[in-house]
Structure 1
Amino acid sequence: MAYKVFIVDDSAFMRRIIKDMLTEDKDIEVVGIAKNGKECIEKLKDIKPDIITLDVEMPILNGIETLEILKQKYGEIPVLMLSSLTSEGADLTLKALDLGAVDFITKPTNIFKINSDEKKLEIIEKIKTASKINVKHKVDVKHKVDVNHKKDIISPKVHIKKVLDEKFSNLVAIGTSTGGPRALQEIIPYIPEDIDASIMVVQHMPPGFTKPLAKRLNSMSRINVKEAKDGEELMRGTCYIAPGDYHMTIKERYGNKYIIKLDQGKSVSGHRPSVDKMMESVSQIDSLTKVAAILTGMGADGADGIKKIKLNKGYTIAQDESTSIVYGMPKVAVAKNAIDKILPLGNIASEIIKRVGV
């Protein structure tokens, strides 16, 4: 049975390239093409695709406006965004993920590289994975944590965060991929500002997207959230997100100081940043209590690393299947006997708080 794809892009060149690329795969059938959001909505009256690829920046109806209509009228169809590598494109893509797009693909800076074997493989893999997602099955998250831990999304100028530089006793490591930005929004903003921990996060994303993600999470959260920098010291009540295209690890220095190291070493299982590499480094920190969580995502990145944390006296959590956009990474970690507790997304923040204290 073929994966039925509907392509929406304002560029005739991109529409042709994507269609030709997809039809090379015997399991994919392009059932519709539209040059803007308005045309897409009209054509969907007669076409029932398994997935829609949606350009972020378009005239008449842009990707965000189109997505909002799609979620209302055709909420059962997964939507995969196609984004430019610009700061505006990154911000709009994160908004699209927040509105319910299941994942995104970046257009290369050199548009002719869109047809490269690497990009072709990425697009086909993401389309096949996203097509299988039952987007209606992922119900609203119900939290088991005091809602006072999460502030309303207001201007950061209104909410003055505490600057916490005192020592901490716990290190929290979180790894995620497809569906991760939305999942992180259901964990990080629920962490209290006086938590006795520092938090490290690897979210599979290309360069240019992790900084806007950190900024977005920071605007929602009581703790400080930032894109990590090489050589900076971990602080209590701060969450560090690995920059796109950089591995992030942690090193212990004399005097109980913990320093972030960033590098562009070889990809690990096709990923840079790698959850495995981050978690393996965390597993070697014996002077702190370690808590790790694997969230939604396709593939197996993080399973080996989180098992090392478990074997070195850490406590490990996996997001359950019912709340995962893609139950890949957590599933592999569970299969490797690397997980102490499997929880729905809404329970993970409270479990972390319970384990590390404030």
Structure 2
Amino acid sequence: MRFSNKKKLLIVDDSAFMRKLVGDFFDGNLNIEVVGTARNGKDAIEKIQQLQPNVVTMDVEMPEMNGLDALREIMNQCPVPVVMLSSTTKQGTENTLAAMEYGAVDFVAKTSGTISLDLHKIKEELVQKVEAAANISVTKLKRPMKPIHRKEVVKVEKSLNTPPPTIKKQQPVELTTLPNKKEWSRTSRKIILIGTSTGGPRALQEVITKIPENVRAPILIVQHMPAGFTKSLANRLDQLSNIHVKEAEQGDILKDGVAYIAPGGYHLRLRKIGTTYGIVLDQTEPPRSGHRPSVDVMFEDVSNCPDMDKVAVIMTGMGQDGANGLKELKKSGNVRAIAESADTCIVYGMPKAAVETQLVDEVVDVEDIAQTIMKYMY
């Protein structure tokens, strides 16, 4: 009997055509082996228990038991990394973000409706995300993600006078060795910059919902997502948070206590307008390392704003977006950099790359990031 070292994939979709198409993507794949298919959520739960796959792809919209209901059951009964396949309709984007909250690792947007005849356009993205998901620890998927309501933020505000969270042992360098290290001023003008990718929606919910509305800084966010999904993400976070969260629009004037999420398909930049700054959405520069918006582009652009001190945060995600931009940020102005710890990252790629630059000031668990940001605000 020959044993395979490949990770096992279960494909869940109500369309036989889609099951075949997704399965064909992994023909000859050196890392992934398709071990079965399921036609709906109920069938998926049975197949997961029977086949014990390492990773699952699942359509959001299915009859009998849809992807959302199935995902909740899976995470409760037989947790496994799940990559969702979603339509780009308004309902589809909202359901996808709910799936992230319930424990899905990531998603891929179908390019044209329920049965995507041109799904081959996202083959590379789907294969990459499935391969990454297959190596994720189930214990991280089971971390509780309870919705936070506005009134709970008051408790967080009160807790800001408590000692700061314990910094992880991974802290890469002594603070005094960082280049251009300046005394941190409590009264200077500030901006908060956040970059994240895989696992980001859950991480952002953990962080943004704990920021009090009287925070004296605007917040710029790059989350790797296609067009359409970033607006639903902004709306969802806005409902849960004490600060205002919106999808960034061309010409938005930066305001304290407002978080601006870069829309899918656009780099996020700033331009000086009088004594303040306005948002510029850039579709002319190509994707950087496959991403538009790119964390590197945002960091590099904001490094040209010398009259603001920056708090830069890099959280869970594949790849190394943000590491090069952090180098540019640290060359000019006053910057404090925070990376999410390996203990809580769904994928410890982007934070790891940032830590390896030796320019990160603090490495903390995701639940402590908001408090760490806030200690630089007052």
Q: TM-score normalised to the size of structure 2?
A: 0.85
Check 1:24–1:113 CA distance in 2 against 1; reply closer, same or farther (3 A cut). farther
**Residue 184 of structure 1 aligns to a residue in which SS?**
helix
Deviations 1:21-69 (A, max 9, x none): 1123132211010111111122233211110111000000000010011
Match for residue 195 of structure 1? 215
Matched, 1:261 2:277: no
Gaps of 5+ in 1: 153-166
Task: Give the SS at the match of 2:65.
Answer: coil
In the TM superposition, residue 115 of structure 1 has moved relative to its aligned partner by 1.7
Give the aligned partner of residue 341 of structure 2. Answer: 320
User: Per the alignment, in what secondary structure is the counterpart of residue 45 of structure 2?
Assistant: helix
Given that 1:249 and 1:262 are in contact with CA atoms closer than 8 Å, whether structure 2 keeps it comes out as yes
Residue of structure 2 equivalent to 1:3: 7
Which is worse superposed, 321-330 or 103-112? 103-112
Cα distance change of structure 1 residues 37 and 141 upon mapping to structure 2, 3 Å threshold: closer
8 Å Cα contact 1:8/1:54 also seen in 2: yes
Following superposition, the deviation at residue 310 of structure 1 comes to 2.4
CA distance in 2, matches of 1:100, 1:349: 21
Contact 2:145 2:202 in 1 (8 A): no
Residue in 1 that maps onto 2:81: 78
Which of 36, 39, 42 is 2:40 aligned to?
36
- Asked whether the equivalents of residues 217 and 225 of structure 1 are also in contact (C-alpha less than 8 Å), the reply is yes
User: Is 1:112 aligned with 2:117?
Assistant: yes
Which residue identity is paired with 2:118? K
1:298-337 equivalences in 2 (<5 Å):
298-312=318-332, 313-337=334-358
**Secondary structure of the equivalent of 1:334?**
helix
Query: Structure 2: how far apart are the matches of 1:253 and 1:126?
Result: 40
1:354 aligned partner: 375
Partner Cα separation in structure 1 for residue 192 and residue 75 of structure 2:
34
Question: Could you say if the C-alpha distance between residues 194 and 127 of structure 1 is closer, same or farther in structure 2, counting changes exceeding 3 Å?
Answer: same
Whole-angstrom distance in 1 between the partners of 2:155 and 2:63:
35
- Extract unaligned runs of 5+ from structure 2: 157-186
Mapped partners of 2:368, 2:47: distance in 1: 41
Match of 1:227 among 240, 244, 247: 247
2:49–2:78: 8 Å Cα contact kept in structure 1? no
Q: Distance in 2 between matches of 1:141 and 1:12?
A: 34
Cα distance, 1:168 vs. partner? 8.4
Q: What is the CA deviation profile of residues 325-346 of structure 1, one whole-angstrom value per residue up to 9, with x for unaligned ones?
A: 0000000011011211111111
CA contact (8 A) 2:41 2:70 kept: yes
Q: Does 1:125 align with 2:95?
A: no
1:179 is matched with which residue: 177, 199, 206?
Answer: 199
Q: Report Cα offsets for 1:280-303 as digits up to 9, x if no partner.
A: 111111111111100000001111
Q: 1:287 to 1:107 in 2, by over 3 A?
A: same
State the 1:140 CA deviation.
4.4
Name the residue aligned to 2:103: 100
- Normalised by the length of structure 1, the TM-score is 0.90
CA–CA distance in structure 1, aligned partners of residues 204 and 277 of structure 2:
23
What's the CA shift for 1:311?
2.7
Secondary structure, in 3 states, of the residue corresponding to 1:187? Answer: helix
Q: What code does the residue aligned with 1:315 have? A: R
RMSD: 2.0
Distance 2:6 2:271 in 1: 48
Q: Distance in 2 between matches of 1:325 and 1:43?
A: 24
> For the structure 1 residues 35 and 282, does the alpha-carbon distance in structure 2 shift closer, same or farther, using more than 3 Å as the test?
same
* Number of residue-to-residue matches in the alignment: 336
**Bigger shift: 1-10 or 42-51?**
42-51
Identical columns (%): 46
CA shift in 2, pair 1:294/1:214, >3 Å: same
Cα displacement (A) at 1:148: 4.2
| Distance of 1:43 and 1:125 partners within structure 2 | 23
What code does the residue aligned with 1:318 have? A
- AA in 1 matched with 2:50: D
Change in Cα spacing, 1:168 to 1:85, as seen in structure 2 (3 Å) is farther
